[in-house]
Chains A and B, each alone.
Chain A
């Protein structure tokens, strides 16, 4: 599955990424509920944007709430898919399939509005 492959590659990048968790390091979590078309779309979009903008400076953790429902509370997840920027602080959330790259970049503070 593209989805799982994506997950693995994201995790792989975490390992291969720089050790230093500087301000320039991005920790992203993508909350999904099962492998729905929306989930897959969101992951693909996120992956694409990160590769373009944050190459080697990011890690994506995909959290499937169907498997770990208790994790929804911590990041106050209501909608899926939700992208949470854990690092750098402050926490940012972007809801949806991350269709619009510009909005995602604005949401992640990578672009000025």
Chain B
């Protein structure tokens, strides 16, 4: 009756607001829209070592620690001591929880050789044990790992099936949310077809080899009454337990910073709107081999340590000592920050373990060190252990993780010659806030490095190509020469610059001589003017003298005339 009802609700697509029980497993509650079906059994199947037991235990431990729901763990495989020891490394104190009366571990041991069967029987003993355990702690959750062990203990298959079916119904009736594990079978999900009896939720865990590296994945095979992703979700078994990666369900609500951090290359800061990239942003440095990606990464960490901040350099290619030596040769001192405890190196070959282990290791380290800047060099190597999509999802996860903590992340990515430079190997450019592209510029028999900012969210960045120069004094950027023949770098640029200088000198000289000529002409003109003025002055003097003489003569003449007349007139007057 009850069964029919729920079937109807699923078939009609009507969500009867199925109640969920949160697992507290990061990512899992997101992909299932709230966790496991409440008060119903869930089957978790998978091959050996796929993490079934851990899933069941984490469901219980989280129930106790996060949701105050006590639990019972019925183990058919490991005993209490083994379980306690196995999960101690995850920080779960099963012993403590047991002592607090929150957890009850019941190890059900079946030794086939000890057991003889004759006549009728049932598994009421098991029911009684589970009920006693559940009552002892007031359990809301239960894990059963793995009930299929019963099949090795008893010969009557049909009886066991009937009893297991009865157990699941009984668990429902007791309002226990159950996680039941089952070993993967040949044709079926589980060896003994437990999936027939569990209709509400079936999860499949997989630990698949890809190349030579194992990757863990989880798939929801069915989940009645809930729309769920049918994808395979990669998951991690980290130091803190399970972690599922639901890229689509990530809540992007972290704080953002307006604070800028220097890239360690002054001129690059200028290109990035004048003051470097935003704190907590993700920076992608891509380029072909030997373009200086690692060096730029080293610059980033060196600058961070110079500011007294913590930094981590994850390297998949070089050993720490080699990086320190190599960077020392180009004037970037990484030894000092290491000695000061500011810089942490983590070098590991990509192929040493699976993707999820790498990222788990990184996350753990980030948690421990709490760095301001993280460099991952290079992410393109991750492709050798996983398919592109997985790498992308994992990176999305790590980027989000770092963004939440306000960590500036620098990723280097090796692009292969031949493929488009702007196609990143991992296809992750959309996850990045700033993308710096390094490229070779081959010209006149030499190879030089060019750099430009392909994108940088939230700032006006330079659109110019700069020459990226790695010298003994470190990294610097130079303007490239852009002439009619294209972009010139290296020697060509130097030659061009020299030619320009020469030309300038010539122009200068020409101007100088023209200026002198002008002066000379002015002088000559002035001299001529002087000459003329002098001549004129002389002439003037002569004329004036002549005039004076004439005047004097005139005066004299007039006087003589009057004197004569007077003489004559006096005679007349005297009579």
> A92 to nearest B CB, angstroms?
6
Question: Which of A76, A90, A92, A104 contacts B109 (CB under 8 A)?
Answer: A76
Interface residues in B99-148 by Cβ distance below 8 A to A read 106, 108-111, 114-126, 128-129, 131-132
Question: Which of A90, A91, A93, A100 contacts B119 (CB under 8 A)?
Answer: A100
Query: A69-B128, A78-B150, A92-B114 known; A97 and B122 CB under 8 Å?
Result: no
> B164 to nearest A CB, angstroms?
12
Q: How far is A42 from B118 in the complex, measured between Cα atoms in Å?
A: 10
Query: A33-B128, A65-B125, A69-B132 known; A76 and B108 CB under 8 Å?
Result: yes
Q: Is B345 an interface residue (CB 8 A)?
A: no
> A7 to nearest B CB, angstroms?
19
**Contact indicator A103/B116 (Cβ below 8 Å):** yes
**Contact indicator B114/A38 (Cβ below 8 Å):** no
Interface size on A, residues (CB 8 A): 34
As a 0/1 sequence over residues 54 to 73 of chain A, the CB contacts with chain B under 8 angstroms (1 = contact) are 00000000000110011011
Residues from chain A with a CB closer than 8 A to the CB of B110 are 76, 78
Q: Is A107 an interface residue (CB 8 A)?
A: yes
Residues from chain A with a CB closer than 8 A to the CB of B153 are 78
**Contact indicator A78/B108 (Cβ below 8 Å):** yes
Residues from chain A with a CB closer than 8 A to the CB of B115 are 93-95
**Contact indicator A38/B116 (Cβ below 8 Å):** no
Question: Which of A76, A80, A107 contacts B124 (CB under 8 A)?
Answer: A80
Q: Is B151 an interface residue (CB 8 A)?
A: no
> A28 to nearest B CB, angstroms?
13
Residues from chain A with a CB closer than 8 A to the CB of B108 are 76, 78
**Contact indicator B121/A93 (Cβ below 8 Å):** no
Residues from chain A with a CB closer than 8 A to the CB of B154 are 79, 95
Interface size on B, residues (CB 8 A): 25
**Contact indicator A79/B118 (Cβ below 8 Å):** no
The residue in chain B whose Cβ has the minimal distance to the Cβ of A38 is B120
**Contact indicator B109/A96 (Cβ below 8 Å):** no
**Contact indicator B121/A96 (Cβ below 8 Å):** yes
Q: Is A35 an interface residue (CB 8 A)?
A: no
Residues from chain B with a CB closer than 8 A to the CB of A70 are 132
Query: A69-B131, A70-B132 known; A77 and B119 CB under 8 Å?
Result: no
Classify the interface of chain B: helix, strand, loop or mixed.
mixed
A-B contact count (CB 8 A): 97
The residue in chain A whose Cβ has the minimal distance to the Cβ of B149 is A78
Residues from chain B with a CB closer than 8 A to the CB of A42 are 119
Residues from chain A with a CB closer than 8 A to the CB of B111 are 76
Query: A93-B116, A98-B118 known; A79 and B128 CB under 8 Å?
Result: no
**Contact indicator A99/B119 (Cβ below 8 Å):** yes
Q: How far is A107 from B129 in the complex, measured between Cα atoms in Å?
A: 25
**Contact indicator B120/A77 (Cβ below 8 Å):** no
> A70 to nearest B CB, angstroms?
6
Q: Is A31 an interface residue (CB 8 A)?
A: yes
**Contact indicator B116/A77 (Cβ below 8 Å):** no
> A76 to nearest B CB, angstroms?
5
Question: Which of B106, B116, B129, B132 contacts A95 (CB under 8 A)?
Answer: B116
Query: A69-B132, A70-B132 known; A78 and B118 CB under 8 Å?
Result: no
**Contact indicator A79/B116 (Cβ below 8 Å):** no
Q: Is A29 an interface residue (CB 8 A)?
A: no
Question: Which of A72, A98, A103, A104 contacts B125 (CB under 8 A)?
Answer: A72
Residues from chain B with a CB closer than 8 A to the CB of A104 are 116, 118
> A77 to nearest B CB, angstroms?
4
**Contact indicator A78/B126 (Cβ below 8 Å):** yes
Query: A78-B153, A79-B154 known; A98 and B132 CB under 8 Å?
Result: no
**Contact indicator B124/A97 (Cβ below 8 Å):** no
Query: A78-B110, A78-B153, A95-B154 known; A41 and B119 CB under 8 Å?
Result: yes
**Contact indicator A80/B119 (Cβ below 8 Å):** no
The residue in chain A whose Cβ has the minimal distance to the Cβ of B153 is A78
Question: Which of B114, B120, B123 contacts A91 (CB under 8 A)?
Answer: B114
Q: Is A106 an interface residue (CB 8 A)?
A: yes
> A108 to nearest B CB, angstroms?
8
Q: How far is A90 from B115 in the complex, measured between Cα atoms in Å?
A: 12
Q: Most chain-A CB neighbours within 10 Å: which of B121, B123, B129, B132?
A: B121
Q: How far is A104 from B117 in the complex, measured between Cα atoms in Å?
A: 8
Question: Which of A72, A79, A91, A103 contacts B121 (CB under 8 A)?
Answer: A79
Residues from chain A with a CB closer than 8 A to the CB of B117 are 94-96, 103
Q: How far is A98 from B116 in the complex, measured between Cα atoms in Å?
A: 10
As a 0/1 sequence over residues 469 to 501 of chain B, the CB contacts with chain A under 8 angstroms (1 = contact) are 000000000000000000000000000000000
The residue in chain A whose Cβ has the minimal distance to the Cβ of B114 is A93
Given contacts A78-B108, A94-B117, 4 further A-B contacts (CB under 8 A): A33-B128, A69-B131, A96-B121, A100-B119
A-B residue pairs, 5 tightest by C-beta: A97-B119, A107-B116, A99-B119, A96-B119, A69-B132
Q: List 13 A-B contacts (CB under 8 A).
A: A38-B121, A41-B119, A65-B128, A73-B129, A78-B153, A80-B122, A95-B118, A95-B121, A95-B154, A96-B117, A99-B120, A103-B116, A107-B116
A-side residues, CB < 8 A to B, are 31, 33, 38, 41-42, 45, 65-66, 69-70, 72-73, 76-82, 90-100, 103-104, 106-107
